[in-house]
């Protein structure tokens, strides 16, 4: 178990890590429009979305590579995962990921593919005449690993965890542009009699994309998360999320588990956040969803109202084996 010295060391390390990465970043509303590849900020997991986007400290499938790569150590089994999001304005987001163990008590590795489809658009000349139809898209391909970095003779739940992702980001409009980037993530050991866990992650920490003659940074996002395990059947999560091209926002979520039969479980989820709270009118910032597990198979769904822009529906299928 952790003592006070370990907790102080952890907090000091996390604060120093955040300061180094965020140095010279604005993290305010005046920075809107300064980052490219915005699809990288969109959650792929219905579970994450249903819980208000608060899941950085508690993820248990291959979608963890999209939020906090350190969470791969929670898998315990190999994981195959696919999700589809019917996004706003007839756009869509698809995600495919696979992760497996690197060996007993060593860690996990995984690969992920994130694809955002903008649909078809007309390319016009200066007078508005149609030249051709184009199909813009954004793509990210990542390779992830997660491993223990302390207490190799302790239980897995009592160790610090580090995870990292290297990835290629590509955007295609009429011409294409690419960048190399990376994600970093940390998980603490379980604390308070294994009722609490804290995480810190930073996504898209480097790389710039040049579109026409202008160069844009990728959307650096820092997440400080916590998961409280109230009981075996109920947990609550909270994340402080700071994108470099917007003001930080708070996300909270809850998940209840109902055991229906042997190895068959139903999950009820809800959440809220303060994202875009003053930018979009209408019902927003409140989310909900359901999950179903049958042996090694899973199905998840989430509903996210997005005010005047419409509603977002996400589904995911997974297999942990």
What count of other Cβ atoms lies within 10 Å of the Cβ of residue 252?
18
Q: Which of 168, 59, 56, 41 is nearest to 111 (CA)?
A: 168
* Partners of residue 177 on adjacent β-strands: 171
- pLDDT of res. 24: 45
User: Which residues in the chain land under pLDDT 70?
Assistant: 1-33, 122-125, 127-130, 152-153
Parse the chain into domains and list their residue ranges. 4-252
Q: What SS3 class is residue 71?
A: helix
Cβ neighbors of 291 (< 8 A, separation 6 or more) are 46, 47, 266, 267, 269, 298, 299, 300, 301
pLDDT in tens, 273-312: 998 777 777 778 899 999 999 999 999 999 999 888 889 9
* Partners of residue 235 on adjacent β-strands: 229, 255
Q: Are 167 and 140 in contact (CB under 8 A)?
A: yes
Distance in angstroms (rounded) separating the CA atoms of residues 39 and 27: 18
- pLDDT of res. 27: 54
Task: Give the length of the chain.
Answer: 321
- pLDDT of res. 6: 56
Please calculate the CA angle 187-32-201 and round it to the nearest 5 degrees.
5
- How many angstroms separate the first and last alpha carbons of the chain? 30
Distance in angstroms (rounded) separating the CA atoms of residues 193 and 57: 16
pTM: 0.86
- pLDDT of res. 170: 95
- pLDDT of res. 125: 66
* Residue whose pair of structure tokens reads 């609550």 in the numeric block: 236
- pLDDT of res. 88: 87
């Amino acid at each position: 178990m952790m003592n006070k010295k370990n907790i102080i060391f952890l907090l000091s390390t996390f604060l120093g890590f955040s300061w180094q990465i965020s140095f010279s970043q604005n993290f305010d509303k005046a920075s809107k429009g300064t980052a490219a590849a915005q699809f990288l900020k969109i959650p792929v997991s219905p579970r994450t979305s249903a819980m208000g986007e608060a899941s950085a400290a508690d993820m248990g499938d291959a979608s963890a590579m999209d939020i906090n790569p350190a969470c791969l150590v929670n898998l315990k089994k190999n994981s195959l995962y696919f999700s589809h999001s019917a996004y706003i304005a007839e756009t869509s987001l698809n995600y495919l990921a696979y992760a497996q163990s690197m060996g007993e008590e060593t860690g996990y590795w995984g690969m992920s593919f994130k694809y955002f489809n903008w649909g078809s658009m007309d390319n016009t000349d200066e007078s508005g005449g149609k030249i051709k139809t184009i199909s813009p898209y954004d793509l990210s391909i990542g390779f992830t690993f997660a491993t223990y970095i302390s207490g190799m003779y302790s239980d897995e739940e009592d160790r610090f965890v580090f995870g990292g992702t290297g990835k290629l980001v590509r955007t295609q409009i009429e011409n294409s542009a690419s960048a190399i980037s990376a994600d970093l993530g940390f998980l603490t050991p379980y604390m308070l009699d294994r009722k609490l866990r804290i995480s810190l992650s930073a996504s898209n920490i480097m790389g710039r994309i040049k579109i026409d003659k202008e160069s844009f940074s990728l959307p650096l996002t820092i997440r400080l998360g916590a998961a409280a395990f109230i009981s075996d059947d109920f947990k609550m999560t909270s994340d402080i999320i700071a994108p470099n091209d917007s003001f930080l926002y708070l996300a909270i979520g809850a998940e209840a588990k109902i055991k229906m039969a042997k190895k068959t479980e139903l999950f009820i989820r809800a959440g809220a956040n303060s994202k875009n709270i003053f930018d979009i009118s209408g019902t927003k910032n409140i989310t909900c969803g359901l999950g179903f597990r049958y042996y090694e198979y899973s199905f998840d769904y989430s509903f996210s109202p997005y005010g005047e822009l419409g509603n977002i529906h996400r589904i995911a299928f997974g297999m942990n084996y």
